[in-house]
Amino acid sequence: MQTNPHFFDGNYASLTEEHDIPALHIEGTLPPELSGSLFRVGPNPQYAPRDNSYHWFSGDGMVHAFHIGQGRVSYSNRWARTPKWQLEHAAGRALFGTFGNPATSDPRAEGQNGGTANTNMLWHGERLFALEESHQPFELDPHSLASKGHQSFGDRVTSRFTAHPKVDPESGVLHFFAYSPDGPCSPTMHYGVMDQDCEVTRLESFTSPYASMAHDFMVTRGYVLFPVTPLTLSVERAMRGKPLLAWETGLRTHVGVMPHGGGVDTLRWFDADACHVFHVMNAWDDGNTIVAYVMQSDTAPGLPDAEGQPGDPAAMAARLCRWTFNLGSADTGFQREYLDDLAAEFPRIDERYAGRRNRYGFYTCHRTSRARDDSESVLYDSLARFDFDTRKRSMYTLPLGDVVSEPVFVPRSTSAAEGDGWLLAVAWRDKEQRSDLLVFDAVDLAAGPVAVAGLPHRVPFGFHGTWRPGL
């Protein structure tokens, strides 16, 4: 796998400065009831990689905070000062190979913590964490963004933790999982539950069909679902100079379904022809039926096959898809139906409906189908709101060349109807080479942002974010 130059150019390039800006310039009017903090994270390599296999997914995490209230927006950004960041900072150069590949790492990195804390942000138990699935959650101070280090939660989380935990909106408990927790590329998985005080109350282990990068999972009122796709992990393959992480043609996609009241011995595995899902929008159950809304592609976006050859960009484009599982049938298959024809990613919902039947979903997308290479396929020019009852989509498209981040939904009030609130997203302004925070009325997305908070610099392309209510 060769280095993709897009991962170093333009707005993929690292931001080398840390800022504290007390007040951003505002165009439009910030909603007076909008009060809280938006935290986003993404890859921001401290040093140029040591080999030719660097991938965007493996850069050091940088957290960006927008604090909103009383008609003002302040901003700050900090690197997550992980053990990897500190070790390389002291050395003055990169020491870890891409994804910690031992074949391309410096001997000083052997046995050291290579966590990047670059994928998602979590606000839980009045604590802020930066997440990525190869290591423990990395805690930061929510005000100063000062690094507090990886957390084990009473030595219950000792290795990996998902970048996409799910919080039950009624109980407040957090569901999490991990792949390969027993060592690099092992086919085992963990499932756990954490209460509102960040105490782990349940942790179980099971074996999946094969070792896979299982980036996301699903939680309904009654069930937990674990997708395993042919995006496989192999140390043996990496030591032969092939990709550690690759799409393995010929394998099937599997989904393990487990009732909340049962243990891992009750897991039931469903399967389908090979397909890939990085992100789940939501899932819910109704009797013997489970429905999940996912962003499905034919192969994993931006990643090579097992021989290191690039994949087909058209097959990497994800689209909104409905998965249906019939628990009352002995059949191990499940139904899949595309609901939208646009290439799309980064799905979000009104989190008050997590695990419940939701009517509305939000995501980034390309307004029209177009040929793109595997890196540009994740750069989206539009935001969409999808109504699952009517199957109608409304959209807002940025000016040509601009790119919008994952949207984060904030309800207008605790009692507001589903989808009534605000969408927050960060936009890259190509012509001006800088970024803006956009605030949309989620009910009228097509009208454009009601407020824009302008940054004097850029926010590099990143992944996910979270909202912390109140200042």
- Write the pLDDT tens digit of every residue in 389-432: 999 999 999 999 999 999 999 999 999 999 999 999 999 999 99
What local confidence, expressed as pLDDT, does residue 257 receive? Answer: 98
Instruction: Give residue 371's pLDDT.
Output: 44
Rounded to whole angstroms, the Cα distance separating 194 from 121 reads: 16
Give the per-residue pLDDT at 4: 53
Alpha helices in 137-217 (DSSP H): none
Rounded mean pLDDT of 111-121? 95
Instruction: Indicate the pLDDT class of residue 303, thresholds 50, 70 and 90.
Output: confident
DSSP class of 60: P
The set of residues, in sequence order, having a beta carbon less than 8 Å from that of 322 and lying 6+ positions away, is: 291, 292, 293, 335, 336, 337, 338, 339
The most distant pair of C-alpha atoms in the chain lies apart, rounded to whole Å, by 60
Distance CA 252, CA 271 (A): 7
226: closest CA among 188, 194, 198? 188
User: Regarding predicted confidence, which is higher, 86 or 241?
Assistant: 86
Specify the pLDDT at position 369: 58
Note the pLDDT of residue 215.
96
The predicted pLDDT at position 100 comes to 77
Judge whether 194 and 171 are in contact, CB under 8 Å: no
Q: Which of 429, 378, 428 is nearest to 55 (CA)?
A: 378
| pLDDT number for residue 471 | 66
Question: What is the tens place of the pLDDT at every residue in 374-392?
Answer: 445 679 999 999 999 999 9
Torsion over CA: 457, 466, 298, 188 (sign)? positive
What average pLDDT score do residues 262-275 get? 96
Please give the pLDDT value at position 376.
53
Tell me the pLDDT tens digit for each residue of 121-176.
Answer: 999 999 999 999 999 999 999 999 999 999 999 999 999 999 999 999 999 999 99
pLDDT of residue 74: 98
What separation in angstroms does the CA of 338 have from each of 113, 226, 334, 406, 428? 40, 20, 13, 21, 29
Model pTM score: 0.95
- Kindly report the average pLDDT of the chain as a whole number: 93
Whether residue 372 is predicted with pLDDT greater than 80 in this model: the reply is no
Q: What is the pLDDT of residues 54-83, one digit of tens each?
A: 778 889 999 999 999 999 999 999 999 999
Rounded (5°) CA angle 311-396-21: 90
Three-class secondary structure of residue 99 per DSSP: helix
Q: What pLDDT does residue 254 have? A: 98
What is the per-residue pLDDT for 6?
Answer: 59
Query: What sign does the dihedral 48-140-277-313 (CA atoms) show?
Result: negative
pLDDT at 374: 42
Q: How far apart are CA 116 and CA 109, in angstroms?
A: 14
Which pLDDT tens digit goes with each residue over 210-254? 999 999 999 999 999 999 999 999 988 988 888 888 999 899 999
Question: What per-residue confidence (pLDDT) applies to 56?
Answer: 85
pLDDT over 90 for what percent of the chain?
Answer: 83
pLDDT of residue 375: 45
pLDDT (tens digit per residue) in 4-28: 545 778 899 999 999 999 999 999 9
Q: Do residues 118 and 89 make contact, with C-beta atoms less than 8 angstroms apart? A: no
The pLDDT of residue 269: 98
